[in-house]
Amino acid sequence: MSYVGPDFDPQPPRRPRRRPLTVALVALVPGALLGWGAYAAFGGSDDGGGSSDKAAVGTPTASARSTDPERPSETPTEPTTSPSESTAPSPSGPLAGKVVVIDPGHNPGNFQHTAEINRKVDIGTAMKECDTTGTATNSGYREADFTLDVAHRMRTLLEKQGATVELTHDGDRSYGPCIDERARIGNKAEADAVVSLHADGAGSGNRGFHVILPGAVNSGAADTRPIVAPSKNLGERIAGAFVRVTGSAPSNYVGDGTGLVTRKDLGGLNLSTAPKVFIECGNMRDSKDAAQLTSEAWRQKAAQGISEGIAGFLEK
């Protein structure tokens, strides 16, 4: 994936949070990921999140479309409402009072706005492009369509548990938002957790998911030091739940088999004042991963796994 965003506003004072997860719970992910080392068949990220083989800005795949004609017709395993429908948060759910911001990486219209998304924005440590087009499967299923679909499914699941859910975009704008604006949306919402959704564009044979955590940055408008520890907690819980629900293995090409990667070059993380992670749900350029990413049933599992990880973090 590739991720980038515009003007950073200082964050208003945040409401107090509960104390970080105890050391005992931090052991959750290593246990959840145990045994995947043998999954040798499985195989990073720009501010879209991912690896170097992202689709070139302004040059979408010729066959790019929102559905993949090569996948069989499937029935989603969960939503009782349409994935794109938002339901009122349950006032008595376990996540009542919690705010979650979901950031669907990229935008299907980015390729039509190359000048706008190539504009540089300040991410604290450097100047970076506003956004990118993202990647796509070899048959044309776009990352931007994937991320928006999973975001809708997550919103339904989290609202049923009482959370207030906000998306950084909902297919309601022609391009973007830029990476700095995406961070600002989570900050202004005073989110309890923010997750940026992506799928990678690495070489064939590279498989599996990875969660990107913010490194400690203190430069210009960026100061991630207060969110490093809670973001790691959030990322570990998401990784553990993602393995359990989807059956996917951690990446075989980054993260040393842990499914966790720390980075300091992503504006969406650098400019966040709320606990935030990115997740690369798989590699669109690998045929086996692509078969999962284009499956409605698997996307529902992905949404459930990420949502369960968020819920575990918020309920601590």
* Tokens linked to 314: 């918020």
Phi-psi region of 139 (alpha: psi -120 to 50; beta: other; left: phi over 0): alpha
Cα separation, 40 vs 207, in Å, equals 10
Residue type, 31: G
DSSP state of 249: P
| CA-to-CA dists, residue 217 to 68, 103, 221, 265, angstroms | 40, 21, 10, 9
CA proximity to 173, closest of 162, 161, 164, 185: 185
List, in order, residues 6 or more apart from 16 with CB less than 8 Å away: none
Residue 78 bears catalytic tag: no
Task: Answer whether 103's CB lies under 8 Å from 175's CB.
Answer: no
Cα 297–Cα 48–Cα 280 angle in degrees, nearest 5: 40
Cα separation, 148 vs 309, in Å, equals 19
For the sheet with 164-167, list strands across it: 164-167, 99-104, 193-200, 276-283, 210-214, 260-263
CA proximity to 98, closest of 25, 190, 183: 190
* Tokens linked to 102: 């979901």
Element housing 233 (H / E):
helix 228-246
The residue annotated as part of the active site, out of 143, 280, 296, 308, is 280
Sequence-ordered strand ranges (E) for the chain? 99-104, 120-122, 127-129, 164-167, 193-200, 210-214, 218-219, 222-223, 260-263, 276-283
What is the set of active-site residues? 280
